Each structure stands twice: as C-alpha cells, then as structure tokens.
Amino acid sequence: MHKHIEEIKKNEGNPKILKNLFTKVEINQFLDLYNKLPVTVHNKKQNVIKKRWLKEYGKELEKLFYEKLKKEIGEFKYDNLKAENGADILGLFQESYNPIGLHIDGGFNFEDLIYKQTLIPLTSVGSTIIFKNRFYGQSTNFTIDQKELEKKDLKYGQNKRSSQHLKLFGSKPFDEEMHKKYLGHEKIENLTGLEVEMVYEWEIGSMLIFDRTNLHCSSSVIEGKKIGLTTFTKK
C-alpha cells in the first residue's frame, strides 16, 4: 500500500470531462505522433498495441498538453516508467481491438503521492467506466481468472494480478443492466461490490481526468479498434 494515503486522499475528487479541449488539428497531431512512435508491446493475446510517448518525440505537443492539464489540476509531475536508456516516458498510447479489463494505475513506488490520470480519445467510438471504489496499492489487474492470478513472473512495468478487491467492497451483486450494456467482457462475479461513478463516452477533442485510485476499465463498446492516450501524474 502507498505510504502517504491520507495525503493522496486530500487531492482526490470527482472525475471530470473536459469537452472541446483539443481542436481537430491538435488531435491529428496526436495521431501523427502515435504513427511515428515505435511499438513498445504488441500483445496478440489481448489484441492491443502499446506505444510509449518518448520524451524526444512531440515536444510542442507535450508543451500544449502540459499547459492545458496544469490549468485544470494545478502543479503536477509526470509519473511514468523510464525507457531503456533512462529517458522519461510522458504517456502511453493504446490501440485496442478488445476491451481492457478491471484495473487500477497506482504506479509502482509507494513513496509517491499519486495524483490524477488523463485519457484523450483519438477515435470516436468507445467508453470508459470509472467506479466509485478506490484502491491504494500498486498498479493491479483485478480478476478471478485463476490462470491470471498464478502469474508471478512479471516484467518491468507490468501490473500485478489480484482478486483482493472482492474482499474490500462488500458482497452486493453488480447491476445487471449496467453489466449487459457496458461490461459484457467482464464476468459479473468479478464486479461484486462495485458501483459505477461515471461512464465516459468517448468524444474527439475531449479529455477525461480522474484519480489514480479509482478502479476503472474499458467498456465492451468497440467498433473495430480504438486508440487513446493515457498519462499519469503525481505531486
């Protein structure tokens, strides 16, 4: 668990959607940046392509992004993994063909004051589910899949696997209508005790900001593929 949980809690708030934050030209610049970046991971099992936003790429875009985010959340530092050469990684682009499961992006250093994370959709069809439930551990995928839970040999930057969430939030069954509409890729038993705070319907030009302690996942709503940019911050 994080060592400064009370400090982290002081900075928490409700998820926020900023509409019309980026112009079409700026969104196309993000897509151009995505196309120029080298592939970091092509997970064929999950059918997802991940590309790290390396600091030497898109410096003007980074300045634009930083100023827009600072205006909304105040002073912050990026909290991202390092590239092999030690350079900072500013964010993570993901091209997904399947929905990404229940998880949290708490980072890997328990000394950090984790803060907000952002999501910028670069394609129009998709949605992200933010839960009211919070977790104060490291980056974790929450699952009841026994094969996933047995994975212990994780590489640098990979989320651990856990079913601990089922012991934290009570035994109230998850809303069946919500499950049917948005979360068909998740076993409903894996969502026991969870309550939805927000469904963020992807919209080009908008950005979602939410606390890194919020459990969240993709919805099952995908047309072909979707591309998004996620950035993580700390104080």
Give residue-wise pLDDT tens across range 158-217: 889 999 999 999 999 999 999 999 999 999 999 999 999 999 999 999 999 999 999 999
Residue 40 pLDDT: 82
The 10 Å Cβ neighbour count of residue 83 is 14
**Strands 160-162 and 214-218, sheet pairing:** unpaired
Residue 81 pLDDT: 73
Residue 45 pLDDT: 57
Sign of CA dihedral 74, 77, 79, 84: positive
Determine the average pLDDT of the residues in 11-36.
Answer: 96
Sign of CA dihedral 44, 107, 28, 39: negative
Two structure tokens written together for 214? 């919020």
Residue 80 pLDDT: 75
Residue 65 pLDDT: 95
Alpha-helical segments (H) within the chain:
5-10, 24-36, 59-73, 146-149, 176-182
Q: Where residue 43 falls among pLDDT bands split at 50, 70, 90?
A: low
The ranges assigned to domains in the chain are 5-234
Residue 96 CB-density burial (10 A; 0-12 exposed, 13-18 middle, 19+ buried): buried
Beta strands in the chain (DSSP E): 16-18, 41-43, 48-54, 77-78, 89-96, 103-104, 114-121, 127-134, 140-142, 160-162, 196-201, 207-211, 214-218, 226-234
**Strands 160-162 and 140-142, sheet pairing:** parallel
Two structure tokens written together for 208? 């979602």
Residue 88 has pLDDT above 70, yes or no: yes
Residue 85 pLDDT: 73
Single out the residue of 68, 69, 90, 63 nearest to residue 78, CA to CA: 90
The 10 Å Cβ neighbour count of residue 179 is 16
Residue 178: how many CA atoms within 13 Å on its side-chain side? 17
- DSSP class of 131: E
Residue 128 has pLDDT above 80, yes or no: yes
Tracing tokens 């875009």 back to the chain, one arrives at: 61
The yes/no answer on whether domain 5-234 falls in CATH 2.60.120 is yes
